[in-house]
Amino acid sequence: MYRNKKAGTVGIIITIIILILIVIFSNGESNTAFFENAASNLVMPIQNGLTYLKNKISGNNTFFTDINNLQAENEELKQKNSELEQSLRELENIKTENETLKEYLNLTEKYGEYSTVPGYVINKDISNYSKTIVINLGSDDGVSENMTVIADQGLVGYVVSVTDTTAKVETIIDTASSVSCIMSSNDESIVCKGTMDDDSSLRAMYIPTDSNIAQGESIETSGLGGIYPKGIHVGTVERVTNTQNLTDRYAIVKTAVDFDKLNTVLVITNQ
């Protein structure tokens, strides 16, 4: 009321600018790439033009003498090029076909024995501390509590509660979640718990003292605990942290599923 109004507006504008800058710089490459692109778009045409001019001037003395030879060579190369392109296209077709066939084979091998219902993620938790998601499948689609939810890369979580048309899913990265897992190379059991740190890592606890756990090792569910069926891929070991005592060392497991971009999920309806 009694305050200078202009100073207030300036303060607000400065705060907005600071907020936007903090958001941009705290989120790393994904956002700065836009500005880098804009800057390079601004400078690149001039840079290209200058480089072109320089090349033109320095190559000027041989420009007229070679012109006949070059024409013949050009024809020859063009023909060769079209032939090569043809074969390249054929190879690419074969390659993609091969990949899709392999994918089908893997998927049926992995999840063939389960019958699944596909669904979409329709909502994510708005709190910073828990990471539940809501999917568009409910009891009408045959989904009920404690069913396992997977994506095509690996384990997502399990159903906590259902309504007629939606279901609440607790993801494995939530801090309340812990999954009983085994290391695929030596079948030793560990427990993977969600952390608050970031959206793509789990903390593997209770590693047996006599076992070797190495970077890049594949982790899958053990089937113990009654919720998750056996043999679903969870992630890979990113690094092992040794503490003073061998019994409480832990490993950071990178999840196979990218929870930031998670869109489609599958619910396993028979276990």
Partner 1 sequence: MKKLVINIFLILTIFIIYFLQSNFFTWFNIAGIMPNLFVVIVLFIGLFASKTMGTIYGIVIGLILDLLFGRSVGIQAVSLGLIGFLAGIFDKNFSKDSRMTIMLMVLSSTVIVEVLNYLFKYMFEGISVEVFNFVKILILEVIFNLLLTIILYPLIRKFGYDIENEYKGNKILTRYF
Q: Determine if 55 is a binding residue for partner 1 (CB under 8 A).
A: no
Token output for 136 = 């568009």
Q: Determine if 44 is a binding residue for partner 1 (CB under 8 A).
A: no
Q: For the window 81-120, what string marks contact with partner 1 as x by the rule CB under 8 A?
A: ----------------------------------------
H-helix or E-strand spanning residue 77: helix 67-111
Closest approach of partner 1 to the CB of residue 157, in Å: 12
Please tell me the distance from the alpha carbon of residue 193 to that of residue 162, in angstroms, as a whole number: 24
Please tell me the distance from the alpha carbon of residue 206 to that of residue 238, in angstroms, as a whole number: 16
Q: Determine if 200 is a binding residue for partner 1 (CB under 8 A).
A: no
Closest to 166 (Cα-Cα) out of 149, 186, 183, 185? 149
Percentages (nearest 5) of helix, strand, coil residues in the chain: 40, 25, 35
Among residues 74 and 163, whose Cβ is nearest to partner 1? 163
Q: How many CB atoms lie within 10 A of CB 200?
A: 17
| Location of structure tokens 């601004």 | 42
Q: Determine if 77 is a binding residue for partner 1 (CB under 8 A).
A: no
Quick one: which of 75, 97, 140, 197 contacts partner 1 (CB under 8 A)? 197
Go through 18-50 and write b for each residue having 16 or more CB atoms within 10 A of its CB, e for each that does not: eeeeeeeeeeeeeeeeeeeeeeeeeeeeeeeee
Q: For the window 215-244, what string marks contact with partner 1 as x by the rule CB under 8 A?
A: ------------------------------
Quick one: which of 111, 114, 125, 231 contacts partner 1 (CB under 8 A)? 125
Quick one: which of 66, 73, 90, 198 contacts partner 1 (CB under 8 A)? 198
Quick one: which of 8, 49, 118, 142 contacts partner 1 (CB under 8 A)? 8
259 phi and psi, to 5 degrees? -70, -20
Among residues 151 and 192, whose Cβ is nearest to partner 1? 192
Closest approach of partner 1 to the CB of residue 57, in Å: 48
Q: How many CB atoms lie within 10 A of CB 230?
A: 12
Q: Contact residues for partner 1 (CB under 8 A)?
A: 1, 8, 11-12, 15-16, 18-19, 22-23, 26-27, 123-130, 132, 134, 160-161, 168, 170, 174-176, 178, 193-199
